[in-house]
Structure 1
Amino acid sequence: MAARVDLDGKPIKPLTICMIGAGGFIGSHLCEKLMAETPHKVLGLDVYSDKIKHLLEPAGAHPWSDRIQFHRLNIKNDSRLEGLIKMSDLTINLAAICTPADYNTRPLDTIYSNFIDALPVVMCVIVIFDLIRLSIIQFHRLNIKNDSRLEGLIKMSDLTINLAAICTPADYNTRPLDTIYSNFIDALPVVKYCSENNKRLIHFSTCEVYGKTIGSFLPKDSPLRKEPEYFVLKEDESPCIFGPIEKQRWSYACAKQLIERLIYAEGAENGLEFTIVRPFNWIGPRMDFIPGIDGPSEGVPRVLACFSNNLLRHEPLKLVDGGVSQRTFVYIKDAIEAVMLMIENPARANGHIFNVGNPNNEVTVRQLAEMMTDVYSKVSGEPSLEEPTVDVSSQEFYGAGYDDSDKRIPDMTIINKQLGWDPKTSLWDLLESTLTYQHRTYAEAMKQAIAKPAAN
């Protein structure tokens, strides 16, 4: 494998990366990229490994088999976390509760997941970069809440990537304590260990830290609502505007914002080298779960998986409050390219907060539902329903305490200037790729699941 160089043409030095949340949607795609295209070693930390089984099993069967470790741990309380971070050059934190249905039904879980738990989270996944040998990935099954291995793993790494979080909106107002602990309290040790051991940290936050747009507070007939400065979200200018405390849906966003502020303060006061990532609706295969198939029957995943579940069941797609909210969607493979640039260009990425999204793929949720219906009909060969959508209230769908932002449109100036990154994949193409995967993976299992109650 040829030696890799950064954007300035300089050789990329050998690194060890601690990735927390390696077993999730983003982590699985990042691990694939690192294994296939770089000479880096990975120590992966998570509670689950289902989405990276194909990288780990069967043992010894892959070119990288002796170059990947999985550590099964929970960053809340695993003493191994600090050790893993110390082993790494870079920590990438992906862990979080980040499903909107949880924000106002589990607000405590959401805040803990995205703030308290996030301190040790960064130590959960370690990716060790070795430019002499091919990539090595290890998986350590641990929970960063209380695992003593975390610090040791961080010490072993050059970089810690913290992906761990409760990040399902259905949890934010039904499990607010878990959400707050996961995203703030559990993340505190990760930041602490990285700072104390002079380890670089890439922390995954969320576009939800922006909250509501300035434009949403203008009169509905105001022409200013169409002016970009009132709704385009900029890392270094836009205010973070949340709803009232009783709207526990904001527990996730508040926990994420608070851990961002703590990381920024560690950088300013103690010299922590950090990069904060704000994902804007990353979409692709292996995202979330399908209720009753590979997740709880009563579970409420994020919008793409919710709509996929409806399509697989031949049910109308449920539009919360009419589906008028506007979102942008970016393909996971495009987003992973952005993360790779952050990993391999620390001089350009350190100290920055990056929006990672695709403003060209802006649609209302209703438009997304209509497009997904058309795409799924194409990839599955099945006709669409005569009434493909149905309106439901947010209280009916998510429970009391739910609230939402009107638009999430990212400004891309900073990431384009610093890293030269632009997304490439259109909304239609990313939906076609994702729904092809969903149909291939779940259609037969869904038919069997639907047939069982009928047989009984």
Structure 2
Amino acid sequence: MNPRFDDSSFTVAIVGCGGFIGSHLLDAVLERTRWRVFGVDLDFYRLQHRLNHERCEFLCADLADPAVVERIAQFPLVVNLAAICTPSRYMGEACEVIRSNYDHPAALATACAKSGSWLVHFSTSEIYGKTAVESGELLEDSTPAVFGPVTASRWSYATAKLLAERFIAGLPGLRWTVVRPFNFVGPYMDFMPGVDGEGIPRVLANFSTALLRGEPLKLVNGGKAKRCFTSVHDAVDFLFALFDAGLGGSLGSGNETVPGAGVFSQAFNVGNPGNEVSVAELAQKMRAIFAKLRGVDVSSLPEPQSVSGEEYYGAGYDDSMRRMPSVAKAERLLGFRARIPLDTALEESLSWFVKHYDVAQTP
């Protein structure tokens, strides 16, 4: 184990600590290290089991507050997971989506540059834009990005995230690493509409909700788009490989060379190319898993239904048909490769969802 993980005086700030990824990262930090955690979010309902932990301090606050940003930047390692990242909000709340994914991260990056903190910033695979079905692997440092027109407000999220990356990369004195997630899935993901959230969650929680309610799974534009789904446990393992490399020596300040510096000023794809599946195929996999969990024949479940993107999400919807990550950089620089197969990740995710929400659900 990296001796830095055994340092009980070290504190990591996790922004978005109460969210899907943040809750898993918090658990891992407490289980794998002796670090303290400064967790920031707007709610912590996923962290009821950790709220009184002696090594944790929680702050219910927003990055829109400059005083909060300054406090976060006082810690040597800052992981920023905070974002509005549900497609249903990209069209109707474009300005708020841009503030969340550009204005606030830019302010935090500026503060980290001044304090000397290492900023690990979560971006998105959407910064690659409108890839086609025939597109090959997406390379962090060479794949060009093409986005839809301004009228397609679906791209408010992606363009804000891309601008945040460019700001971070150009900020003098900042030690940074960007993470580009490719469809992380697992327990605690998203919400059930009408129960603990409103609107349309991402596809896995969307399908899980429909299955529990006995409704047809809706395939946007026929479910032809392809995605690589990645277990959140692989994502956490990636972060520890990153921490291990980046904390190989003293963090220092400014731009001097330190051990592990090969992970600084880098963007990493974090995904599982072996788990590529079309959304239509995903629907059938989830139907089969749900039927097994319920002990029923899959034929007793409603068949999926196709719906247009605009009908389902509203005007301004657009999409990328395929996102296949190159993971060579993470393997070369960190020795990391995602390993959890798709069926295992889906069964864990859906099993948790069923157990957590398994009552007579009505919207």
TM bucket by the smaller chain? over 0.9
In structure 2, C-alpha distance between the alignment counterparts of 1:94 and 1:279, rounded to whole Å = 11
User: Please, which runs of 5 or more residues in structure 1 have no aligned partner?
Assistant: 60-64, 97-165, 217-224
User: Aligned ranges for residues 119-138 of structure 1 at < 5 Å?
Assistant: none
Residue 85 of structure 2 corresponds to residue 192 of structure 1: no
Distance 1:38 1:281, change over 3 A: same
1:393 matched residue in structure 2? 308
What is the RMSD of the two structures over their aligned residues, measured on CA atoms? 1.6
1:288 matched residue in structure 2? 190
In structure 2, C-alpha distance between the alignment counterparts of 1:170 and 1:78, rounded to whole Å = 28
Point out the more displaced range, 73-82 or 237-246. Answer: 73-82
Measured after TM superposition, the shift of residue 344 of structure 1 is 2.4
Residue 25 of structure 2 corresponds to residue 16 of structure 1: no
Give the counterpart letter for 2:80 in structure 1: N
User: Aligned ranges for residues 55-454 of structure 1 at < 5 Å?
Assistant: 55-56=50-51, 59=52, 65-86=53-74, 88-96=75-83, 166-213=84-131, 215=132, 225=134, 230-266=135-171, 270-296=172-198, 299-346=199-246, 347=260, 348-384=262-298, 385=300, 387-444=302-359, 447=360, 449-450=361-362
8 Å contact 1:194–1:201 — kept in the other structure? yes
Give the counterpart letter for 2:110 in structure 1: K
8 Å contact 2:17–2:40 — kept in the other structure? yes
Measured after TM superposition, the shift of residue 382 of structure 1 is 3.7
In structure 2, C-alpha distance between the alignment counterparts of 1:419 and 1:376, rounded to whole Å = 36
In structure 2, C-alpha distance between the alignment counterparts of 1:443 and 1:382, rounded to whole Å = 16
Measured after TM superposition, the shift of residue 247 of structure 1 is 0.2
C-alpha distance after superposition, 1:306-340 (max 9, x if no partner): 00010000111000000000100010101110011
The equivalent position to 1:32 in structure 2, one of 24, 27, 44, is: 27
Distance 1:49 1:284, change over 3 A: same
Task: Give TM-score, length-normalised by structure 2.
Answer: 0.92
C-alpha distance after superposition, 1:267-303 (max 9, x if no partner): xxx231100000000000000001112112xx10000
8 Å contact 1:12–1:344 — kept in the other structure? no
C-alpha distance after superposition, 1:181-217 (max 9, x if no partner): 100012221011000111110000000000122x56x
SS across alignment from 1:186: helix
In structure 2, C-alpha distance between the alignment counterparts of 1:11 and 1:90, rounded to whole Å = 12
SS across alignment from 1:369: helix
In structure 2, C-alpha distance between the alignment counterparts of 1:259 and 1:11, rounded to whole Å = 29
Point out the more displaced range, 424-433 or 317-326. Answer: 424-433
In structure 1, C-alpha distance between the alignment counterparts of 2:139 and 2:6, rounded to whole Å = 30
SS across alignment from 2:71: strand
Distance 1:237 1:210, change over 3 A: same
- Structure with the greater relative contact order (CA < 8 A, sep ≥ 6): 1 or 2? 2
Give the counterpart letter for 1:256 in structure 2: K
In structure 2, C-alpha distance between the alignment counterparts of 1:382 and 1:47, rounded to whole Å = 40
Measured after TM superposition, the shift of residue 77 of structure 1 is 2.2
8 Å contact 1:276–1:354 — kept in the other structure? yes
Give the counterpart letter for 1:175 in structure 2: E
Measured after TM superposition, the shift of residue 80 of structure 1 is 2.8
Q: How many residues align?
A: 347
Task: Give TM-score, length-normalised by structure 1.
Answer: 0.74
Give the counterpart letter for 1:360 in structure 2: G
In structure 1, C-alpha distance between the alignment counterparts of 2:122 and 2:101, rounded to whole Å = 10
8 Å contact 2:37–2:56 — kept in the other structure? yes
8 Å contact 1:202–1:276 — kept in the other structure? yes
Larger proportion of strand: 1
In structure 2, C-alpha distance between the alignment counterparts of 1:330 and 1:197, rounded to whole Å = 33
Give the counterpart letter for 2:338 in structure 1: P
Measured after TM superposition, the shift of residue 342 of structure 1 is 1.3
SS across alignment from 1:278: strand
In structure 2, C-alpha distance between the alignment counterparts of 1:359 and 1:66, rounded to whole Å = 39
In structure 2, C-alpha distance between the alignment counterparts of 1:5 and 1:93, rounded to whole Å = 22
User: Please, which runs of 5 or more residues in structure 2 have no aligned partner?
Assistant: 247-259
In structure 1, C-alpha distance between the alignment counterparts of 2:41 and 2:352, rounded to whole Å = 24
C-alpha distance after superposition, 1:73-120 (max 9, x if no partner): 01112523202321x101111011xxxxxxxxxxxxxxxxxxxxxxxx
1:103 matched residue in structure 2? none
In structure 2, C-alpha distance between the alignment counterparts of 1:187 and 1:386, rounded to whole Å = 43
Question: How many percent identity over aligned positions?
Answer: 39
